[in-house]
Structure 1
């Protein structure tokens, strides 16, 4: 089944998934969405979830990289959790996508002059996530220092000559660490921070090896699609069979709402089919059929709706 990625080019979490698709060597559909609300092509499937990226596999919709990467893992191609680290890649990716992501946001965006990002972007992120550009600018030196710690630790990990954090094969942890540094490197105003991080022994070479899995590498094939194309693919077949359980205090089949910690975005609602350590699944009825919307358990707030 061909994965369909809803994304915009400058999104670091989308770059994480693009690199993962390259590692897997998969053909994938590309639906470009706006970087600010509204995102009607995406929310037609998710109900409300509008963060970037989102991946569609038929009638199954995966929100957040914590749900996306395990879904991609089940598809043909090299593992995203290669041994010897295995599931430890998830721990690294969670750290990189949590506190270290915010450190890299500060390193990337803090030095930007007023207006460089566009007022639409600032208004969107302020309303949804409480972005305060003045506070971010004041914190930028501290946050850049925190990001450099990640580069230093990565350098220490690579010091024995290994190609990737676990050895010869890249994994989810590499993808998440790479996406953070890719984000900083892509902002011209943050060149000083990016250069400092890439200067750590081994980090620049590792970055180049990871970049080689990108969309321009020939590993995997990107095919542009429209939102209606993706919707038609969702309606062409039923969702896959459910695995997992619904843990208390919730009850299978109840109407539930799922929203993300730290956001003012609207919640996605639907019939709760799974809610355990392995993830959350909501069934949503859309015109013409049913979709299953998948979330990781971490970072999601589940309530009766």
Structure 2
């Protein structure tokens, strides 16, 4: 790189190099526009950049795409920038809400609908009538418009980035196993007579997964930790919210994410599938164990016994 000669009267007006003020120069960095002598400029895709901008660009590149290795992410998913499963899950939740609201005839009292009653997680009903589908269907039901809006907003914010990192199939598996984790915690450790519903267990699972992903990518975890702590505080302080459902989803989601992003590359899929199967079987085992112990509790409730709701 050479600097073109300038007549004496122009040389006097030329600025000094940003790093070598005693060197007059007519060259500038194409990125920051600061004057720079030939020794302080480097080749760039377009023109020349100063040494500071070259180093800053390298740092930004490392921070911007830390999750990608070649053509796949650290979870083994093909590189993509478009979320598909996340908006689809939101659409399903909204559709179910509209159906329950239409049946109930009220937007804020949609829990009065038959669909809501048949799908919410009511442990006593599960024990007495073996309606096991409630463990999953309850995760797509919401008490009123505000409950739906809060969960769907959280799902949108968390789901977009996690789906890009995990890919569609892994993300959907994480969501469903987290949902089951929340339901399992409510069924195993909760009150048989209390009914719950909502996607909060799955959403908290995404929160736990986000924290694991941040740690795996060696990013600052303070924001992720702050979000989780804030939401747990709100869960404890606001009446009517299921702490067990949130904690169950959070723990299962975090454990599943560990397998997603820490599995060795050569056997990644086997580790990921194996972990998800193990977590699912463990939850099923807890549910079956609790069901056996809950039969006596159910029959002790006046007016309730086996085969009678």
**For this structure pair, what is the TM-score category when the shorter chain's length is used for normalisation?**
under 0.3
Higher relative contact order (CA 8 A, sep 6+): 1
Q: Which has the larger radius of gyration?
A: 2
TM-score (norm 2): 0.22
TM-score (norm 1): 0.23
- Which has more strand, going by share of residues? 1
- Which has more helix, going by share of residues? 2
